[in-house]
Amino acid sequence: MYAEAVTIDAILADGHRRARRSGATAVLAAAVILAAFVYSDALDPKRYRDALPTILTLFGDAVPPDFARWRSWGKPLLDTLAMSVVGTVLGGLTAIPLGALAARGSGPAWLRHPALLLLNTLRSIPGLIWGVLFVAAVGFGPLPGIFALAFHSTGMLGKFYAEILEHMDPAPGNALRSHGVSELGVLRFSVWPQIMPRLMDVTLYRWEHNVRAATTLGMVGCGGIGQEIVVALDQFEYREASALILVLLALVTAIGMLGAGLRVRLLERISS
Amino acid sequence: MIRLENVTVRRGQNEVLHHLSAEIPSASITAVVGRSGVGKSTLLGVLNGLIRPVSGQVSVAGMAAMTCPVSLREYRRRTATVFQEHALIDRLPAIDNVLLGLADRRHPLSPLPWSNDMRSQAAVALNEVGLLHRATARADRLSGGERQRVGVARALVRKPSLLLGDEPFASVDPALVGQIGDMLREQVARNGMTVVLVMHQIETALALSDKVIGLVNGEVAYDGPACEFDTEAQERIFSM
Ligand SMILES: Nc1ncnc2c1ncn2[C@@H]1O[C@H](COP(=O)(O)OP(=O)(O)O)[C@@H](O)[C@H]1O
Ligand SMILES: [Mg+2]
């Protein structure tokens, strides 16, 4: 009896302790967020005085959008699209082995931290900086863009792939092992069917992201629609720039819908 | 016959089986009984090679030592296990989960789908556990009892010479338990299949098995014919 009472006291005390701790965490988080707002002048009304008129002027200069040169936009659009596809595929292919090494329990333990560090480095360096680096290395055009997307995507996808692998259920694989199936067989018959839909899901999602990223890469010399926009802005052709931005918006939306549709189908097909 | 000699197993910090010795006769049904946590699942893990004892050995009549990878693989190919937690792939349909029981008969790199012959074998196995009508349902849409029967079908499709079942009937209807039990009995008589079933329901265990191994805290507390398992033995094994 006595032992039981002590246990319950301990359980209640533990509950209180955890409630106090999460309360303190919430207060601390709120303080940090507020400090960030103040520090960045985001709460300073003086900074906003001239903003509205400027924005209105810019907007006035940019309407109506000017689609006159639409014929010459096909190639840059295609460049951007191709850049995003190739960059995603290369990034995904590199991310598979790196993600496997970075996942707990699927590679040699001593390689896990180096792999994580490499992935972390790849994705900590912003895509634009990768773009500048590769433009310097291989010259202008979509090629440096492809490498920039691939490097950054490897860092991102490798992390996701590793998490997918870690969340995989090992039990079916063990069942196969107990039936004399080789490790390659476990990979094929248990690991692959479990992770494949999720792998495709995050990769398609990354592709959608890369279409947008490919556009910004155009601004540092990687060609494509982004470069067209920069050129139009540089020449104060705001109406052409706004037309290009609308085209880009349509492209990104269309790809987003296509990607979302594919992902839903992918997750459902396996299910039926 | 499978012989366990002085088998000691550690899991994490704890020693779970202590110098356990027992024999499992061929072409018969052995029930492993005992309270929760005494090491029944661990014993099955030793028998299918997923758990390696720290000492002692497992030997199979007519086979080289289990420590030899070739004979371990050969032994495993003749073995089928029904897992307590089912060990199904949630997003695959029931029939595909049953087909996984035949994975050792396919080349891992073969791009071909499962053959029609394998598919029909899987369908037959699903029918044997009364689940043919759920063949195309995703495993995670099945009830606990249905999942368990998929696990049983995945083992049966292998036509194993050693069938290991970890509480395979825990949430299966009694009528169906009787039916599957009859089928197992028939395979034992006809094909000489050896069966080891972990069961916590002692009545089912006694009705189905020839021999009973009762465990208490990782040690054998009863080892004898099912017909001699009396209330005294029951008290020894199941009392608190
Ligand atoms: N993976 C594990 N790590 C550490 N201890 C475990 C593990 N699995 C089981 N155990 C412990 O081993 C003992 C026997 O477990 P188990 O064989 O599953 O028992 P049973 O099947 O008879 O209920 C239990 O005390 C359990 O807590
Ligand atoms: Mg168990």
pLDDT confidence bin for A69, thresholds 50/70/90: confident
Q: Which of B76, B109, B138 sits opposite A180 (nearest CB)?
A: B76
- Asked casually if ipTM beats, i.e. exceeds, 0.90, the reply is yes
| B8-59 confidence digits (pLDDT tens) | 999 988 999 999 999 999 999 999 999 999 999 999 999 999 999 999 989 8
Which helix (H) or strand (E) element contains residue B111? Answer: none
Instruction: Tell me the mean pLDDT in the region B190-204.
Output: 91
pLDDT at residue B240 in the model: 66
Instruction: Tell me the mean pLDDT in the region A214-232.
Output: 88
Domains in chain B, CATH or no CATH each: 1-78+162-240 (3.40.50.300), 88-159 (no CATH)
pLDDT at residue A1 in the model: 43
A131 burial via Cβ count (<10 Å: 0-12, 13-18, 19+): buried
Ligand 1 in reach of B39 Cβ (< 6 A): yes
b/e map B205-230, b = 16+ CB within 10 Å: bbebbbbbbbbbebebbbeeebeebe
* Statement: residue A4 has pLDDT above 60: no
| B88-112 confidence digits (pLDDT tens) | 999 999 999 999 999 999 999 988 8
* Statement: residue A95 has pLDDT above 70: yes
Instruction: Tell me the mean pLDDT in the region A51-75.
Output: 85
Cβ distance of A178 and B76 shorter than 8 Å: yes
Atom 16 in ligand 1: residue holding the nearest Cα = B39
- CA distance between the termini of chain B: 33
pLDDT confidence bin for A106, thresholds 50/70/90: confident
* Statement: residue A6 has pLDDT above 90: no
What pTM was estimated for this model as a whole?
0.81
- Separation between Cα atoms, residue A56 and residue B70, nearest integer Å: 78
* Angle B168-B170-B173 from CA coordinates, rounded to 5°: 100
Instruction: Tell me the mean pLDDT in the region B207-229.
Output: 93
Atom of ligand 1 nearest to the CA of B13: 4
In terms of residues, how long is chain A?
272
Cβ distance of B90 and A169 shorter than 8 Å: yes
Range in A19-23, A65-69, A89-93 with the lowest mean pLDDT: A65-69
* Statement: residue A156 has pLDDT above 60: yes
* Statement: residue B178 has pLDDT above 50: yes
Q: Around Cβ A170, how many Cβ atoms within 10 Å?
A: 15
- Name the residue in chain B with its Cα closest to that of A191: B89
pLDDT at residue B151 in the model: 96
Instruction: Tell me the mean pLDDT in the region A92-113.
Output: 92
pLDDT at residue A271 in the model: 45
- Separation between Cα atoms, residue A174 and residue A191, nearest integer Å: 11
Contacts of A168 by beta carbon, 8 Å cutoff, 6+ apart: A191, A194, A195
pLDDT at residue A141 in the model: 86
A237, amino acid identity: E
| B123-154 confidence digits (pLDDT tens) | 999 999 999 999 999 999 999 999 999 999 99
Q: Provide the number of CB pairs (under 8 Å) joining chain A to chain B.
A: 77
Ligand 1 in reach of B42 Cβ (< 6 A): yes
B104 neighbourhood in chain A, CB within 8 Å:
176, 179-181, 185
Beta strands in B25-175 (DSSP E): 29-33, 55-60, 79-82, 162-166
- Strand B219-225 to B29-33 pairing: unpaired
- Cα(B202) to ligand 1 centroid in Å equals 20
Q: Extract the tokens encoding A60.
A: 């006035």
| A16-31 confidence digits (pLDDT tens) | 899 999 999 999 999 9
B100 neighbourhood in chain A, CB within 8 Å:
172, 175-176, 189-190
